[in-house]
Amino acid sequence: MTHILAIDQGTTSSRAILFDKAMRISATRQKEFTQHFPDSGWVEHEVDEIWASVLETCRGVLADMQLATSSVAAIGITNQRETTIIWDRRTGEALHRAIVWQDRRTAAFCDDLKAAGHEELVTARTGLLLDPYFSGTKLRWLLDNVAGARDLAREGHLLFGTVDSYLIWKLTDGRSHVTDATNAARTMLYNIHDGCWDAEICDLLDIPMGILPQVLDCAADFGTTQVFGGEIPIRGVAGDQQAATVGQACFQRGMLKSTYGTGCFALLNTGDTAVTSQNRLLGTIAYQLNGKPTYALEGSIFIAGAVVQWLRDGLGIIDAAPDTQALADQADPTQRLYLVPAFTGLGAPYWDATARGAIYGLTRGSGPAEFARAALESVGYQTRDLLEAMAADMGGLGETVLRVDGGMSASDWSMQFLADILGAPVDRPEVLETTALGAAWLAGMQSGVYPDQDAFSKGWALERRFEAQMSAQEREARYEGWSDAIRRTLTR
Ligand SMILES: Nc1ncnc2c1ncn2[C@@H]1O[C@H](COP(=O)(O)OP(=O)(O)O)[C@@H](O)[C@H]1O
Ligand SMILES: O=P(O)(O)OC[C@H](O)CO
C-alpha cells in the first residue's frame, strides 16, 4: 500500500493525482471536457464525459507508475461543488446533463422565493443565501423539466447527487449512494446545525427526500471500487474549496485560506460556531471528522485568474498569464486605474447578478501596462472586500495570515499587492496542489497510511511569505478608490 489516488473533478477539467507514502506527488493526469452553454446564463456538463474523463485520468496515472491496484491504499475525491445530477438507479444513466454551479437559470425562481420571504429560513438552516448558485433550485428545475423525473422519483428509481456522489455511485457500481457533509452543505437542502437534510426546505422546493444521498464525514467508508481491476476503498471526500482548506491545514479557528483559480474562494475557519453572516458571506462546513463539523465563513469571487485570461484572450495584450508581471511593472505609477471585473456580475459580498465590468480612471496615457496592473490589483481589492466582511462578522480578524494557493498564486506581483492591500502577511506553501492534497490526506489518514491532523499540520511548509510594504495611508487611499469604483458599478 504505497499510494493514495486523489480525484479532483473540477469545473473545466478532471485530474487524477497519485500521492506516495510521503504525500509527495508521483503522477498527474488531466483531461478537459466540454462546456455547454445552451442558453444565456446556462452552463451544463455532459455527465458521461465527466465520468469518462475521471476514468481516463485515473487509469493514466496508474499506468504511468505501473501501479497495481493493490498498491493503492485508498481514493480521495474532491469536486466542483453545487453542480447537480439526477440519474436512474437501475442503469446509472443521468437523465439530463449536469447543471453547473455557474448556471443562473433558476434566478427568477429564487427571486420569487425571496419575495415570498423564504430567504431567512434558508439562511438560518443552511448558512447560504437563496441563490441559483446552489443545488436546491437546480434540482427542482430538473424535477419539473425532465420528462418522467417525478414519476421515477415516486417509484423509487431516481437519485440525486453532487458530482462526488455520482462518481461514487459509478465507482462502486451502484452500491453506494452517499456524499460528505461539505458537499451536502452546498445544496441549500442541508441543515448545517443539525447535520441532516432539512425537511421544511425540501418541502418548500418540492423535493422528495428519498432521492437524497446519505451524508458521511469527510473521512469515512464511502464504498469500494473495482473499476480499476482490484479493489480500492474510497475513504475521503470533500468539495474542492473545503479540500483546499484541509490541504492548507487550516484546522484552527481563525485560520484563513484563499484559492486563486478562475475565481477566488476564501474560507475562514470558525471552529465549532456556525456563524450566520450579517455581511452576505456564506456559512458552510469546512470539514467534518469523527461526526464533528468544523464550520467556515466563505467568500466567493467569480473572477480572479479569469481576468488574466481576459487580458490574454479578450484584449490580446499578453501571450501568457505570467507576462502580466513584467507588463504591470511598466505601469505609470501616477495613474490610478480601477478595473472591476464584474463580467458575470459580482459575487460576495455584493451578490449583484446584473452588474457588469467597468474600468475607472482612464486617461490619454492609459495603455496595456496600466490595464494589466489594474487587472492584477482587482484580485487583491476583491479579496480585501471579503476580509472586511469576515472581520465585520467576527468582530475583527486579529493577526490574520492568509494562506494562498491555486494557479494565480504563482504570480509574485499579485501576491505582493495582496499583502500590501490587506496589510497582512500572505503565505504561499510549497505544495500548491492543496485541493488534491486535502482529498488525499483525508483518504490516507482514514486508511492509516498518512499522519493525524496534528502531524499533517506540522508538515505544512512555507515556500514564501509576502509581507505588506505599502504605507497605511496609501493602502487606505487606494482601497477607498476601489470602494468608490464598486459603488459606481453596482446596479442595486
Ligand atoms: N503567473 C500567473 N500570473 C497571473 N495569473 C496566473 C498565473 N498563472 C496562472 N494564472 C491564472 O490562474 C488561473 C488558473 O488557475 P487554476 O488553479 O488552474 O484554475 P482552475 O482550477 O479554476 O481552472 C488562470 O485563470 C490563469 O489566468
Ligand atoms: O472547479 P473550480 O475549481 O472552479 O471550483 C468550483 C467551486 O467548487 C464552485 O463552488
- Domain CATH for 405: 3.30.420.40
Q: Kindly state whether residues 232 and 291 are assigned to the same domain.
A: no
Average pLDDT over residues 70-95: 96
Q: What is the model's pLDDT at position 442? A: 98
Query: Which residue from 79, 262, 327, 432 has its CB within 8 A of the most atoms of ligand 1, so it is best to mutate?
Result: 262
Q: What is the model's pLDDT at position 67? A: 87
- What's the pTM? 0.93
Listed in sequence order, the DSSP H helices in 15-106 are: 47-64
User: Strands 98-99 and 44-45, how do they pair?
Assistant: antiparallel
Q: What is the model's pLDDT at position 35? A: 86
Domain extent for 384 = 249-429+461-492
Confidence band for 262, pLDDT divided at 50, 70 and 90: confident
Q: Has residue 452 been placed in a domain?
A: no
Q: What is the model's pLDDT at position 398? A: 84
Q: Is the CB of 258 under 6 A from ligand 1?
A: no
Q: What is the model's pLDDT at position 441? A: 98
User: Would the pLDDT of 161 be above 80?
Assistant: yes
Task: State how many domains the chain has.
Answer: 2
User: Could you tell me the distance, in angstroms and rounded to a whole number, from the CA of residue 366 to the centre of ligand 2?
Assistant: 34
User: Would the pLDDT of 260 be above 90?
Assistant: yes
Q: What is the model's pLDDT at position 411? A: 96
Domain-ending residue, one of 240, 261, 290: 240
Does residue 262 have a known ligand-binding role?
A: yes
Q: Kindly state whether residues 194 and 229 are assigned to the same domain.
A: yes
pLDDT > 70 fraction of the chain, expressed in percent and rounded: 100
Residue owning the nearest CA to atom 6 of ligand 2? 80
Q: What is the model's pLDDT at position 233? A: 98
Q: What is the model's pLDDT at position 488? A: 96
Residue owning the nearest CA to atom 10 of ligand 2? 81
Q: List the one residue out of 289, 243, 291 whose CA is nearest residue 267.
A: 243
Confidence band for 2, pLDDT divided at 50, 70 and 90: confident
For residues 78 and 243, what is the distance between their CA atoms, to the nearest angstrom? 7
For residues 97 and 321, what is the distance between their CA atoms, to the nearest angstrom? 32
User: Would the pLDDT of 176 be above 80?
Assistant: yes
308: Cβ contacts below 8 Å, ≥ 6 apart: 318, 321, 324, 375, 376, 408, 411
User: Could you tell me the distance, in angstroms and rounded to a whole number, from the CA of residue 79 to the centre of ligand 2?
Assistant: 7
Does residue 104 have a known ligand-binding role?
A: no
Confidence band for 183, pLDDT divided at 50, 70 and 90: very high
C-beta of residue 17 within 8 angstroms of C-beta of residue 72 = no
User: Would the pLDDT of 358 be above 90?
Assistant: yes
Q: What is the model's pLDDT at position 399? A: 84
- Nearest-atom number in ligand 2 for the CA of 239 is 8
User: Would the pLDDT of 388 be above 90?
Assistant: yes
Cell matching residue 389: 466582511
Q: Has residue 447 been placed in a domain?
A: no
Q: Is the CB of 416 under 6 A from ligand 1?
A: no
Q: Is the CB of 172 under 6 A from ligand 1?
A: no
Average pLDDT over residues 374-395: 96
Residue owning the nearest CA to atom 5 of ligand 2? 80
Q: Kindly state whether residues 363 and 423 are assigned to the same domain.
A: yes
Task: Please state whether 153 falls in left (phi above 0), alpha (psi between -120 and 50) or beta.
Answer: alpha
Does residue 82 have a known ligand-binding role?
A: yes
Q: Kindly state whether residues 286 and 159 are assigned to the same domain.
A: no
Domain-ending residue, one of 217, 240, 263: 240
Does residue 12 have a known ligand-binding role?
A: yes
Q: Has residue 444 been placed in a domain?
A: no
Does residue 280 have a known ligand-binding role?
A: no
